[in-house]
Amino acid sequence: MPRTRLEVAREVYQVFRDAEAAAELSAAAIARCAATLIEARAKAHLPPTVGSEIFALMAKSSGSAFDARHAIVSAHPLLDELAADLRIVGYGADKESVPNSPFVGARSPMRVVAEAA
């Protein structure tokens, strides 16, 4: 495999993992924010109707964040198929970079880049 393809695959692997981590952090931060808003309303002894529109928007934001995370995770098998089509096998923090690895074709976290034998 040409060196440039290997470099590109490594870059794709890293930015994909970064995006996945950012999606998880976003979903968690939005959920924490929503919980804090609900708790703050209770601590301030405000009626249940106060902030209802804000809570609805936070729920929508939270759902969108979890949908984004799910979409990124769902892309893993598609990347695996692409890697198989390009004859590259497991590369990443979750597995060794081994040509003809037993992980080839397995459904596991993203596998990108290593030269097939």
* pTM: predicted TM-score of the whole model, two decimal places: 0.66
- Taking only the tens place, the pLDDT of each residue in 32-67 is 999 999 999 999 999 989 999 999 999 999 999 999
CB contact at 8 A, 86 and 65: no
Dihedral sign of CA atoms 40, 44, 47, 51 in order: negative
- Taking only the tens place, the pLDDT of each residue in 87-103 is 776 555 554 444 444 44
